Amino acid sequence: MRHLWRSAYSLPDIPAAASQAALAPCPQTPGLEDATQGGSLTIISDIRADVATSGAGARAGTAAGPGIVRIGLIGCGAIAQVAHLPAVLSSPQVELAAISDLDASRLQYLRRRYRLGPIAFRDYRDVVGRVDAVILALPNHLHAPVGVELLSRGIHVLCEKPLALTRQECEQLCQAARSTASVLAVGFVARFFPSTELTKQLLESRFLGELQSFDYEFGSPGGWSPLSGYNLARSTCGGGVLVVSGSHVLDQMIYLFGDVDVTSHADDCRGGIEANCRTCFAATVDGRPLRGRVVLSKTHQLPNRVRIVGERGTLDVRGSQTRSVTFLPSGSPLRHEITAAALTPASAEPDCFQLQLHDFVNAIRTGAAPRVDGEQATRSVVLTERCYAIATTLEEPWCEATLERLAHAGPYPPPDTAAPRPPALASAS
């Protein structure tokens, strides 16, 4: 029997919605401060003064209105077009001041498609002086060099996940942000799903009782096709499914359960990047050990959910169901769908990329930390490095059982060894 239950659990509003509500458009006339919004204006002025001092972006002569953050989009690939550009163009809090990509035809296409002015630049350095902040949607291996350069010039950066390929690069980015008091936010958009915050609150309120295990299973055949093809190689992507899909999982896992350590990791990498992996983790929650498992795939469909098991039942958080979570009480056939009090059943699906953008803008305006800052994002990169450092090979009998027989059909004698595993990343501990 299925039972939908929305009202009995009285949960506070989720911070995402709260932050969105707090980000009302600023007054149009600086100086005429009112009681509620004057503070934020003052802080913006301070930030712009700092930026100008460091030779950065808030150059006079641009058209942005007061309080409007001038945004540059660096890297105009698939995620930029599908997610970031719509979020920026539909937001009253920001103005798209520049787009940049090496591919001139891509820039031309986007300018025509979105009727943009003369704001396209092939060299990302040309955006300096025209923007207050950038969204960095470049291939993963370029996050660190480009991000460090822009942060060092006082430009705030919202960097697509993962923050960088190694812990060392992450630390360079964080240091650059600190040195110019710039905001470094990281685009873990799943953190803006209402279901993520709801899960966090349920766990903190000990809704499930003592936690026993967690189990992530996320997979689909193929998926996102970056236009640059950076996802085809470890040198540009930093890893396989563990980086592409798993970075969201690892970030959420750390957010929900605190410090997590990897106990085993097996994947199907054969010298390139893995398409499948199975990883086991251990954490300590409320002084008690907690074990979990993560299964990720880019070759076949998995349930796309995390199941958190506690003494009172199981919490089922589905990737396709970002507004609510499902609770299955122990020893009961009932299923309870739990929604945050702020979300009515009829609420539209939130635009999480715009929530993320507004969180970034709020951090720029108020000096508050963004929901996912550089230090938090570094933790998932460190965990990824640990996984790769202890990686073993998944068993794939269908892949190897016939090789010897097939090799004889080739024109040359078969070589002695197959492709070796890549060496562990240098900074892995």
- In the complex, which residues of this chain contact another protein (CB under 8 A)? 222-226, 229, 231-234, 240-241, 268-275, 297-302, 394, 396-403, 405-407, 409-412, 414-415, 418-419, 422
- Rounded to whole angstroms, what are the CA distances from 165 to 148, 170, 184? 14, 8, 16
Whether 352 and 189 have beta carbons less than 8 Å apart is answered as yes
Nearer Cβ to another protein (30/422): 422
As measured in angstroms, the least distance from the Cβ of 299 to another protein is 6
Q: How far apart are CA 118 and CA 74, in angstroms?
A: 15
As measured in angstroms, the least distance from the Cβ of 395 to another protein is 8
Nearer Cβ to another protein (398/429): 398
Backbone angles phi, psi at 219, to 5 degrees: -170, 150
Q: How far apart are CA 257 and CA 283, in angstroms?
A: 7
Q: How far apart are CA 104 and CA 145, in angstroms?
A: 22
Neighbours of 117 (CB within 10 A): 9
Q: How far apart are CA 355 and CA 314, in angstroms?
A: 29
Nearer Cβ to another protein (334/407): 407
Whether 100 and 71 have beta carbons less than 8 Å apart is answered as no
Q: In 3-state terms, what secondary structure has residue 366?
A: helix
As measured in angstroms, the least distance from the Cβ of 329 to another protein is 23
37 HSE (CA, 13 A, CB side): 17
As measured in angstroms, the least distance from the Cβ of 283 to another protein is 25
What H or E segment, with its residue span, contains residue 385?
A: helix 374-389
Neighbours of 40 (CB within 10 A): 20
> Which of 212, 190, 191 has its CA nearest to residue 203?
212
Nearer Cβ to another protein (269/290): 269
Nearer Cβ to another protein (16/137): 137
Q: Token digits for 311?
A: 């003494």
As measured in angstroms, the least distance from the Cβ of 401 to another protein is 6
As measured in angstroms, the least distance from the Cβ of 295 to another protein is 8
As measured in angstroms, the least distance from the Cβ of 326 to another protein is 20
